[in-house]
Amino acid sequence: MTTETIIQTENLNLWYGESHALQTVSMGIPKNRVTALIGPSGCGKSTLLRCFNRLNDLIDHVKITGTILLDNEDIQCSATDVVMLRKKVGMVFQKPNPFPKSIYENIAYGPRVHGVKEKSELDAIVERSLRRAALWDEVKDRLHDSALGLSGGQQQRLCIARTLAVEPEVILMDEPCSALDPIATAKIENLIDMLKQQYTVIIVTHNMQQAVRVSDFTGFMYLGKLIECGKTVQIFEHPKEELTENYITGRFG
Amino acid sequence: MAEKFHMELSQLKQDTLVMARFSRDMLHDALQALIEQDTEKAKEIASRKKQVRDTTIALEERTYQLIAMNQPMAKDMRVIACTLKIITSAERIGRYGKDIANMVKHIKGQPDFGQPVPLMHMANQVIAMIDDTLAAYEVENLDRIAGLSFRDDAVDSLWHSIFRETLTFMMENPKTITRSTYFIMVARYLERSGDHACKMAENVHYMVTGERIEIK
């Protein structure tokens, strides 16, 4: 089975001031697959994730060299429309962060920004997005209630639905379950599995069992370097690098 | 927590080695009792079967618990997978020892062939294969099992040779049929034990390298 690459980094380096946070990272992200980034705290996995939608632009003193291709186009160049980039590459964060608005408005917000005005069209987007995020049945009768009244797990699925509303190609997830209980986590994990039919998912997780459960490919990072990247089964059954072996078997440090 | 798990895993490995060597001794001692026609010794060897069975169950239980509690991955997972296979093969080898020991009372006093059959020689080959495989498992180094396939070929040749030889004895003198039939079974059990050594070695290879190979 061949898989098309949707994102490709070549010799990607990133500095936060003097600190060299990403060191010559070259990695391909397969399309319509789930890729997990694992590694100890501070290894650069969230930094790498944030390169894919240029969220690091918002931080002062950041310097980036190398290329990041999305659909074969360099997203680092000045001509890139960052708003369009972030529409293509959505993101879900560690803690659910719904807007203090109704469930409906949370979903409709993005499409409105991108010019959708027709109510019937917005209604359809809201329903489709909530269905894809496996939340529709739980909230269809209270779409105009505040999103802040939802449980943590529901809020996180709402954030995923909000991302889906603008039809992204890639969804970045930075520890999406670490603030959730096991049942809510299981629902998000099932959702991730469904999402890969239509989207490419890149997930950063501290939980290696979660990486095993949800991902097709895994990249292991350490001290800013991508140490090893491959099929999840291979990484967790017989990693090629001793460093990876030591990390996933808990023999680190 | 990882440290506790690795200590338990290391202890499981050590205890598996003790059990496997206990089974190996049963096979070795059973052959000696057979050659010496020592029924008392044979009886004692057969009685060791209970310990093998009990230890097998206890070791398997501990292995399942380690999996359930720690979800081992990579090398840890491969050590556990290999250990389970070794426990199974070792138990089988111990049971062959018991089966051979149980034959001693039936063979004792039966007409002899007048010339030796190389059963002890064959047993020594097989036991050396088991020893080397267990040593490879213990130190996680494949050097001692590198030529195992050729050694298994030699054991297979001995099995065919003993089979043909005893058939000849039976044809020449039907009074030797009882002894001959038992000897063929012993040779067959030894050949099977050699195969178990190869199976264990395949798993040790997987444990060390992550690659599957076939030793035949």
Confidence of residue A253 (pLDDT cuts 50, 70, 90): low
- Mean pLDDT (whole number) for A173-184: 91
Percent of chain A whose pLDDT exceeds 70: 99
Q: Which of A116-120, A248-252, B100-104, B194-198 shows the lowest per-residue confidence on average (mean pLDDT)?
A: A248-252
Question: Tokens 């950041």 appear where?
Answer: A62
Confidence of residue A189 (pLDDT cuts 50, 70, 90): very high
What count of other Cβ atoms lies within 10 Å of the Cβ of residue B26?
Answer: 25
Kindly report the average pLDDT of chain A as a whole number: 94
pLDDT tens column, A73-97 = 999 988 999 999 999 999 999 999 9
d(CA B147, CA B144): 8
Please, which residues have CB within 8 angstroms of residue B73's CB and are 6 or more apart in sequence?
A208, A212, A236, A237, A248, A249
Question: Tokens 């927590």 appear where?
Answer: B1
- Select the residue of B2, B209, B211 nearest A250 (Cβ to Cβ): B2
Contact A249/B2, CB-based, under 8 Å? yes
Domains of chain A: 5-95+169-248 (3.40.50.300)
pLDDT tens column, A122-155 = 999 999 999 999 999 999 999 999 999 999 999 9
Question: What pLDDT does A173 receive?
Answer: 97
Contact B78/A237, CB-based, under 8 Å? yes
| Structure letter (DSSP) for residue B111 | P
Is residue B216 within 8 angstroms of chain A, CB to CB? Answer: no
- Mean pLDDT (whole number) for B94-123: 93
Nearest Cα neighbor of A219 from A33, A56, A53 is: A33
This prediction's pTM: 0.84
Q: What are phi and psi of B101, to 5 degrees?
A: -60, -40
Confidence of residue A57 (pLDDT cuts 50, 70, 90): confident
Tell me if residue A229 falls in helix, strand or coil. strand
Confidence of residue A2 (pLDDT cuts 50, 70, 90): low
Contact A237/B74, CB-based, under 8 Å? yes
Model confidence at A1: pLDDT above 60: no
- Mean pLDDT (whole number) for B37-57: 97
Paired residues of A20 in beta bridges: A15
pLDDT tens column, A97-127 = 999 999 999 999 999 999 999 999 999 999 9
Q: Collect all residues from A whose CB is shorter than 8 A from any CB in B.
A: 208-209, 212, 236-239, 244-245, 248-251
Question: What pLDDT does A74 receive?
Answer: 94
| Structure letter (DSSP) for residue A43 | S
Contact B104, B31 (CB under 8 A): no
| Structure letter (DSSP) for residue A225 | E
- Mean pLDDT (whole number) for B117-133: 96
Question: What pLDDT does B91 receive?
Answer: 98
Residues of A in contact with B72 (CB under 8 A): 249
Contact A249/B209, CB-based, under 8 Å? no
Residues of B in contact with A212 (CB under 8 A): 73
CA distances from A74 to A8, A20, A56, A69, A203 (A): 9, 22, 16, 4, 22
CATH number of the domain located at residue range(s) B2-209 in this protein: 1.20.58.220
Question: What pLDDT does B60 receive?
Answer: 97
Model confidence at A45: pLDDT above 60: yes
- Select the residue of A209, A239, A251 nearest B71 (Cβ to Cβ): A209
Buried b (16+ CB within 10 A) or exposed e, A138-154: bbeeebeeebeebeebb
Residues of B in contact with A245 (CB under 8 A): 74-75
Closest chain A C-alpha to B156 CA, distance in angstroms: 33
- Select the residue of A238, A250, A251 nearest B210 (Cβ to Cβ): A238
Residues of B in contact with A208 (CB under 8 A): 73
- Select the residue of A208, A209, A249 nearest B75 (Cβ to Cβ): A249
Residues of B in contact with A250 (CB under 8 A): 1-3, 5-6
> How large is the ipTM?
0.74
Question: Tokens 């002894």 appear where?
Answer: B179
Residue A251: burial class (beta carbons within 10 Å; 0-12, 13-18, 19+): middle
Domain residue limits, chain B: 2-209
Contact A245/B75, CB-based, under 8 Å? yes
Closest chain A C-alpha to B17 CA, distance in angstroms: 23
pLDDT tens column, B129-162 = 999 999 999 999 999 999 999 999 999 999 999 9
Question: What pLDDT does A3 receive?
Answer: 80
d(CA A252, CA A96): 31
